[in-house]
Each structure stands twice: as C-alpha cells, then as structure tokens.
C-alpha cells in the first residue's frame, strides 16, 4: 500500500502548498481521493500515470476538495481516454460537473459514471475481489464523507517444502492456496494448515477530512492500519475548529487512540501556521505513532 500526498493544506492554494488531494495505490488500484486545484500538476510532478486512475472519491463539495476535478476530466478527454471513469461524491456533483461540460461543449469521449452519495450511515460503495471501500460519515458544515479502503484477505501461501514432502501434484496447488485440505492416494487427509502459511495481513486506510471532533466515526475506522485525519488547527484555536467544522491536531490524536489505529497521519493544515512540527507534538499528547503529511510526500506501508 502506497499513499502519495498531492496536497494537504486547507483553503486557498499557495505557490508552495496545495489543497487536498492524494493517491492511494492499493492492490493494483490507483484511487484518487479528493481533487483540489492543482491536482493535475501534482500528478505530473509525482509521475503518476493518468490512465491508471479509474475511480475518484470526493469527500464533499467545498472548492478546496473538488475544484480540480473539472480540469482533470477535461484533460482525460484531450488525452484520448477511452476507459470508464467512476466518480463517487455527494449528491450534486453530477449536476456541477455536467453543467460545466455542457456550457463548454466539452462532453467526454469516454464513459463518465457518477455514484452520488446521500446516506448518513456508513455504506459499501465499491467492491471487487481485492478491495472494498466504505464511506465514513463526517461532521462538517455540509454533507461530507471520509472513505475507508480495505484490502481483502489474500490467498494462503504455499509451503513448498510440505507439499513436496507429501508428494502433492501441482494441479492441487490452487485449491490449497484457496484454503482446502488435500486427500492423498492413501486416503489420508492433510489439513490445509500443514501445507500453507497465513497470507499477509490485509491493510486498511481511513481518510477523514473535513470533520469536527466526532467520536461517532470511531466504530467505522476501528483497528485501521492507517488513519489520515484532518488537523486544521492547533489547540489554541479550538474555538475556530468548533465554529468551522474542523478538528485540532490533539483531537485527531484522541480519535486515533479511541479507534486503536496503528498509525495517524495529520493533514489539512490551516495556512496560518508556519511550523508543522507543532501539530505532531500536540497530537502526540494523545497518540504515539504520528506522521505529518506534506505535499509530494509518499508513505509506504
């Protein structure tokens, strides 16, 4: 699992920082999460292939989280894209995007499929044989969702020494990796546990931005491997966090602790602050394993 931060600052773009957007590379999927202004440029800067992006998840309809989307959709068209593009976001996103395409006479030459979200409960919105994606209802000034990306358990790993010792033919290997026992010619049944090793632990990534301090999301993200949680403000501006529907770094640490996650990544910093280390220090008052997002930063798990 690889996470690339394209932008992680709140509100207005600057020459040296970008609003929210990130790419999650998981089980051969490249998911784009939010699409603030400048996302296209950041994708090119990070040498991420546009063609690999087939699913885009938009948390909410504030500009710093989706104003880069119309331009990206248009660029896909100019590049001759043919593959489907699926966009998951709040109800209204289809109207907003298609109106711009209509007024500019710029309809896509590829299938553009919208999945509009209205539920205030967590729901499964994407699933295949490797990954599933659930919404994480957030508490913001407008309807907003985070997203929980979960790997599905992989095949069991073949114990070559054991299958060789039992003289098991290769034609049975796939069934063994699928968890089945094997009956030998003698009639003896060899339990699967003797022939395989456990698969790698399936990883999970929870994206939570923007939201005020909200313990209701804890059951949804419980035991996640990685949590990205907004930390727009430091503790001295907690009153602003409450007023604007955002969180402090310390509150993000509290959520990480309550949800028993393994790693917390902070982001969505207000541009009023110059020292990002202060966010880490305040979150660490509640939770130990804290990392700081920054534009262009990559995390591999």
Annotated binding-site residue? 210: yes
Annotated binding-site residue? 55: no
Q: Does the annotation count 64 as an active-site position?
A: yes
Annotated binding-site residue? 246: no
Find the length of the chain.
301
Instruction: Show pLDDT as tens, one digit a residue, over the chain (301 residues).
Output: 999 999 999 988 888 899 999 999 999 999 999 999 999 999 999 999 999 999 999 999 999 999 999 999 999 999 999 999 999 999 999 999 999 999 999 999 999 999 999 999 999 999 999 999 999 999 999 999 999 999 999 888 999 998 999 899 999 899 999 899 999 989 999 999 999 998 888 999 999 999 999 999 999 999 999 999 999 999 999 999 999 999 999 999 999 999 999 999 999 999 999 899 999 999 999 999 999 999 999 999 9
Distance CA 89, CA 250 (A): 28
Considering only CA atoms, give the Rg of the chain.
22
Q: Which domains does the chain have, with CATH numbers?
A: 2-154+200-300 (3.60.15.10), 157-197 (no CATH)
Counting other chains too, the contacts that 20-24 makes at CB distance below 8 Å and 24 or more residues apart are 20/59, 20/64, 20/65, 20/209, 20/267, 20/268, 21/68, 22/207, 22/228, 23/48, 23/53, 24/149, 24/205, 24/207
Annotated binding-site residue? 105: no
Q: Model's pTM, two decimal places?
A: 0.91
- Active-site residue (options: 25, 34, 64, 198): 64
């Amino acid at each position: 699992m690889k996470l690339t931060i394209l932008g992680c600052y709140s509100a207005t773009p600057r020459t040296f920082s970008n609003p929210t957007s990130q790419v999650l590379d998981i089980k051969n999927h490249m998911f784009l999460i939010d699409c603030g202004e400048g996302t296209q440029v950041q994708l090119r800067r990070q040498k991420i292939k546009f063609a690999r992006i087939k699913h885009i998840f938009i948390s909410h309809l504030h500009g710093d989280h989706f104003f880069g989307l119309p331009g990206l959709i248009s660029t896909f068209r100019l590049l001759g894209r043919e593959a489907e593009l699926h966009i998951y976001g709040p109800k209204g996103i289809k109207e907003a995007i298609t109106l711009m395409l209509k007024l500019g006479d710029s309809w896509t030459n590829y299938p553009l499929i919208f999945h509009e979200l209205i539920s205030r409960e967590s729901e499964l919105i994407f699933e295949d044989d490797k990954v599933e994606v659930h919404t994480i209802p957030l508490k913001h000034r407008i309807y907003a969702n985070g997203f929980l990306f979960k790997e599905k358990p992989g095949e069991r790993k073949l114990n070559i020494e054991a299958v060789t010792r039992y003289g098991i033919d290769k034609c049975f290997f796939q069934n063994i990796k699928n968890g089945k026992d094997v009956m030998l010619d003698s009639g003896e049944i060899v339990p699967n546990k003797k022939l395989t090793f456990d698969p790698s632990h399936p990883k999970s990534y929870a994206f939570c931005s923007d939201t005020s301090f909200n313990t209701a999301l804890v059951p949804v993200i419980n035991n996640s491997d990685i949590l990205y949680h907004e930390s727009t403000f430091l503790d001295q501006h907690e009153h602003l966090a409450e007023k604007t529907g955002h969180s402090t770094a310390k509150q993000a640490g509290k959520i990480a602790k309550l949800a028993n996650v393994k790693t917390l990544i902070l982001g969505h910093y207000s541009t009023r602050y110059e020292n990002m280390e202060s966010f880490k220090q305040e979150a660490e008052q509640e939770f130990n394993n804290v990392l700081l997002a920054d534009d262009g930063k990559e995390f591999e798990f």
